[in-house]
Structure 1
Amino acid sequence: MFEQDSLLARLHEIAEDGVAIGLGFNQMGQPKEHLCTYDDAWQKHYWENELIFSDPVIAFGVNNLGAVRWSDVAAGGAANAVTIARDFGLTNGIVLSVQVDGERAIAGLATRSRPSEAAITEARIVLAALQASKSGEPQIILTQRQKEVLRLIADGASAEDTAHELEIDISTVNFHKREALKKNHLHAKNFTSLLASAIRAAVI
C-alpha cells in the first residue's frame, strides 16, 4: 500500500489539478479499480451529464497504448469531456494508456500548464508501475551500469542526454537498454514496462 501511495504521490506532483485512473481494464472496458481526485464540481457535472460517452481520454485509452496531451485528443471542434472541462478550470493534461502483464491502465492527468515530454514520459512510467504493483513482485536483475542508464531515462533523459551524463556513446546506451530488456524479458515485454518494474522493485 505504501508503494502505491508513493506512486500516486508522484503522479500528483505532475498533475496538480487531479487525476482519474482506471486500473485493470477488462474486455468490456470496465476497470477493476478506479480513482479520481478531480474537483467535486467537475466530477458531479461529468457523471450527471454522462460525459463518459463523449470523453476522448477514455476513447484514446481503450483504443490505443501510449501517451498524448489533452489538446491532441480534443481536436475536431465538437464539444466533449475535455473541451467542457475547460469551464471548470481543467485546461491542460495528459492521456495515458499502458499495458502490463495483459492488464491495461488508463489515466487522465490534469496539469496546470502544457505538460513537457519529460513529464509525459515520467507519468507513463509511473502509471505502468502502479498497474504492475497489482501483481506479484518481479525479480528485476540489472548491472550497475544498466541501473544508471535506466535511472536517467526514468527521470526523462533522452538517449543522447544519458550518453552525455555517463560519458559513453549513444550506441552504448542503446546496448545497455537492449541487454537489460533481454535479461528481464520474462517480466517486461517492452522497455516502458521494464522501467515500471524496475521502479516498483526499487532497483533504480
Structure 2
Amino acid sequence: MGYTVFLDYTLGGPKFFCCTYPQSWQEDYDTNRFYHFDPVFLQAVAGSKPFRWSQSRIPDLRGVMEAARSHGLKFGCTFSMTSAKGVSLVSIARDDREVKRDEADQLPTILKDVAKWYKEEAPHITARQTEVLSMIANGLREDEIAETLGISVQAVKNRLHQARKTTGSKTTAELVVKALAAGLIQTS
C-alpha cells in the first residue's frame, strides 16, 4: 500500500521526507494537522523498536487511525531511531493484512540503509532551494515564484543556480529529476 520515511525530524521539519501513501491521505493528514495527534507518530517519537499500528499504546483521541483506514491504510508497522540530529522513521502500510514479524524486523535495516544513502548520495540542497525547485516542478515560472515568495526573480535564479551547482546538474530539468528521485520534492 505504501510507506513513509523521514530523516532527522526536528521542530523545523525533516531533512529528508518521502511518502507513497495515497495523495488524498497526505492532504487529509496535513489539512487536519494529524501529526499533532497521530498515535503512531507520537509512539514512534517516544520509542525505538518496530511496532504494529494496532499495538500503539497512545490513545487515538482525534480518530487519526479511523481516517487512515478510510484511505486504505488499514494495517501498518513503524520503526524510529533518535539521534542528536532528530528523529528518523520508516512506516509501512498494507490494506490486506497485518505486517508479519519478519517484515517488521526489516524496518531498522531499511531505515539505516536510507540514512546511509541520504548521507552519501542524495542531493543536498537548502530548504529555500527546495521550495523554489518544487514550484518549478509544479509548473510555475520564475516570475510567478518570485511573486509568490516575495523575492526577486534574480533571487529565484540564484537559488536554482546554487542547487544545480551543488548537485552537479547541468540543467534545471536534470535538477528536478534528481530531486524527484531523491524524494526531496513532489509534484501535485
TM-score, normalised to structure 1, is 0.52
- Number of residue pairs matched? 120
CA distance, structure 1, for counterparts of residue 111 and residue 14 of structure 2: 14
Corresponding residue for residue 45 of structure 1: 28
CA distance, structure 2, for counterparts of residue 128 and residue 116 of structure 1: 20
Deviation at 1:45, TM superposition (A): 1.2
AA paired with 1:128? K
Q: 1:63 aligns with which of 43, 46, 50?
A: 46
Map 1:126-141; keep pairs closer than 5 Å.
Answer: 126-135=110-119
What secondary structure does 2:50 align onto? strand
Corresponding residue for residue 83 of structure 1: 66
AA paired with 1:65? S
Measured against aligned partners, the alpha-carbon deviations of 1:60-86 in whole angstroms (never above 9, x if no partner) come to: 222111110011117646333223211
Contact 1:29–1:62 (8 Å) recurs in 2: no
Contact 2:40–2:58 (8 Å) recurs in 1: no
- Structure 1 residues 88 and 131, CA gap change in structure 2 (3 angstroms): same
- Structure 1 residues 53 and 122, CA gap change in structure 2 (3 angstroms): same
RMSD value, Cα? 2.5
Deviation at 1:94, TM superposition (A): 0.7
Contact 1:64–1:97 (8 Å) recurs in 2: yes
**1:36 matched to 2:41:** no
Corresponding residue for residue 104 of structure 2: 120
What secondary structure does 2:70 align onto? helix
**1:18 matched to 2:7:** no
CA distance, structure 2, for counterparts of residue 57 and residue 77 of structure 1: 9
Contact 1:56–1:80 (8 Å) recurs in 2: no
AA paired with 2:3? V
- Structure 1 residues 41 and 99, CA gap change in structure 2 (3 angstroms): same
Structure 1 residues 40-49 or 75-84, which shifts more? 75-84
Q: Percent identity?
A: 23
Mind listing any 5+ residue stretches in structure 1 that lack a counterpart? Answer: 1-16, 138-204
Structure 1 residues 76-85 or 66-75, which shifts more? 76-85
Q: 1:92 aligns with which of 75, 79, 103?
A: 75
Structure 1 residues 125-134 or 110-119, which shifts more? 125-134
CA distance, structure 1, for counterparts of residue 57 and residue 71 of structure 2: 16
What secondary structure does 1:114 align onto? coil
Contact 1:42–1:88 (8 Å) recurs in 2: yes
Deviation at 1:125, TM superposition (A): 1.2
- Structure 1 residues 38 and 77, CA gap change in structure 2 (3 angstroms): closer
CA distance, structure 1, for counterparts of residue 51 and residue 35 of structure 2: 18
Corresponding residue for residue 158 of structure 1: none
AA paired with 2:105? T
Contact 1:24–1:32 (8 Å) recurs in 2: yes
